[in-house]
Structure 1
């Protein structure tokens, strides 16, 4: 997929709404060859998805071995809006708490006092984290208004052909 095609999809209003959400589902392949899919908080910086995890997270060993991932960001209403992304991870080990981690957890409803307590707890727990950075190399938006899953698009095309035959 060409970069301009990815950018066109990511700049659509529905995509922008989805990229402003809190949680994505990160799919990757474990060392034993079986798939894994985990929900994880994220932030979008305009060109990359950034997720943060502890330095001892099991997924890191798998991502070092096979950095290719798929991400799903979706809604819980009907019809769903679904943004599917694929890309290659880059792992960035950092000391302290990455700004993105504090940003991505900033949309949960907390009072200012709860926020202070939460940040103090985070800073006391983690001496560092790993930023999992994904630059999309493929993107598809399914909004069930202008775009459908490819299999459903094919079925609709076949139905139209039968109706005109």
Structure 2
């Protein structure tokens, strides 16, 4: 029985992720993390992230409900998109590796640098973070095994691509 898992070659993944639109999306501060919860139902949560050139790194609390689910089924899907028309969308799939760390991971502080804060607010926020996460955090690291960029100019959702092809066939193109 096939699981329907689509595989991509690493060079294909790298080519898509190196495109200017992908790089623009990977520089954003928020992704949507989709995973299967322990009760078997889907979850999709917004979470800050950092792209380090090969992996997407997110950080969370050691007691986050998503952690037991990710330990049981590490396969995740991420969506990074814009709020303008036409939207730009980067879809990423891959396994999530969990890395328990002492203290605050650098990625957590880096992922939150794009939020609009005054220097004084930033100092207060960082002090609050350091006092809250004294027990450490968990790095959720996703190495992409499948990616798709949709920009509605050079790439479309696969279903829309199919409709465009069908229309061209109907029109005798």
TM-score, normalized by length of structure 2? 0.94
Instruction: Please give the residue correspondences for 1:110-121 in structure 2 after superposition, counting only pairs within 5 Å.
Output: 110-121=117-128
Q: Pick from 124, 142, 154: which aligns with 1:146? A: 154
Give unpaired runs (5+ residues) of structure 1: none
Q: Pick from 132, 152, 171: which aligns with 1:163? A: 171
Greater per-residue strand proportion = 1
Instruction: Please give the residue correspondences for 1:11-160 in structure 2 after superposition, counting only pairs within 5 Å.
Output: 11-127=18-134, 128-160=136-168
Give unpaired runs (5+ residues) of structure 2: 1-7
Kindly report the root-mean-square deviation, in angstroms, between the aligned alpha carbons of the 2 structures.
Answer: 0.7
Instruction: Report Cα offsets for 1:92-144 as digits up to 9, x if no partner.
Output: 00000000000000111111111111100000000200000000000000000
TM-score, normalized by length of structure 1? 0.99
How many residues were matched structurally? 165
- Which segments of structure 1 move beyond 3 Å, counting only runs of 4 or more? none
